Amino acid sequence: MAVKDATQRFSSRVENYIRYRPGYPSQILDLLKSECGLTSSSVIADIGSGTGILTRMLLENGNSVFGVEPNPDMRAAAESALAHYPGFTSVDGTAEATSLQDRSVDFVTAAQAAHWFDRAHARREFVRILKPGGWSVLLWNERQTDTTPFLREYERLLLEYGTDYQEIRHERMTAEIADFFAPSSFRTAVFENAQDFDYAGAEGRLLSSSYTPQPADENYEFMISELRRIFHSRQQNGRVRFEYLTRLYYGQL
């Protein structure tokens, strides 16, 4: 899937991304430890690391992590937030050209990012930088769209106002993930995840998405008005819940 200017899509959304995007369940680390041999000494390249949501989780596990991120605004945000971790190295690079040395990392991770990659070129790059026996791990928080009245109405809002929402949804990627790992096999795991927000949080979560109109766009105020309506009709005790399935795909290339 080729997406125009994919590396620049989040430049104007960094603050909302930092504050309102979901993290990842701790069970991910437990799984990688038990099934892939992850230890605190494992060296990891986190590709498309963005503002460092997964990167921080790995650093807190004691890992040395190369945060490879092409967007300068998101990379700067991660550098500011993660500078106090001695194991963190910020890298201006892409999935297709990380600039890392051959056979230099034990794991390559890509959280909420692989749907932006040129996957054939990224796969070759992952193979190049992974040590023999290393693991590739792709993961996404997949927002549930039909489990509650709020989420059903929120999905309809995105379908109506999203600029290219249907074209870039990563949930469409199942076949492409198989192609990415082929001819190697891969495993999957699914974990539940959720966020609870007041109205300000729900609006920030909406505006963190790359496919939503921005303030200068003619549909922006219509979208915000509809979000307010949905929130106030569906809130419970002043909050709404975003439910996710965190999907993990992992294998040795």
Which comes out higher in pLDDT, residue 252 or 209? 252
In this prediction, residue 166 carries a pLDDT of 65
* pLDDT above 60 (res 6): no
* pLDDT above 70 (res 168): no
In this prediction, residue 194 carries a pLDDT of 98
Query: Rounded distance, CA 218 to CA 209, Å?
Result: 17
Residue 179 CA: distances (Å) to CA of 176, 184, 253 = 5, 9, 11
In this prediction, residue 115 carries a pLDDT of 86
Q: Which CATH superfamily is 6-142+167-194+244-251 part of? A: Vaccinia Virus protein VP39 (3.40.50.150)
In this prediction, residue 7 carries a pLDDT of 47
Which of 13-27, 82-96, 155-169 is least confident? Answer: 155-169
Which pTM does this prediction carry? 0.89
In this prediction, residue 3 carries a pLDDT of 37
Query: From the CB of residue 248, how many other CB atoms can be counted at a distance below 10 Å?
Result: 22
Query: Rounded distance, CA 105 to CA 88, Å?
Result: 14
Specify the DSSP class assigned to residue 101.
P
* pLDDT above 50 (res 79): yes
pLDDT digits (tens, 9 = 90+) for 210-251: 889 989 999 999 999 999 999 999 999 999 999 999 999 999
Q: DSSP alpha helices (H): ranges in the chain? A: 14-20, 27-36, 53-60, 72-82, 119-129, 149-161, 165-168, 174-181, 199-207, 220-234
In this prediction, residue 172 carries a pLDDT of 56
What is the pLDDT averaged over residues 109-137? 95
Amino acid, single-letter form, for residue 214: Q
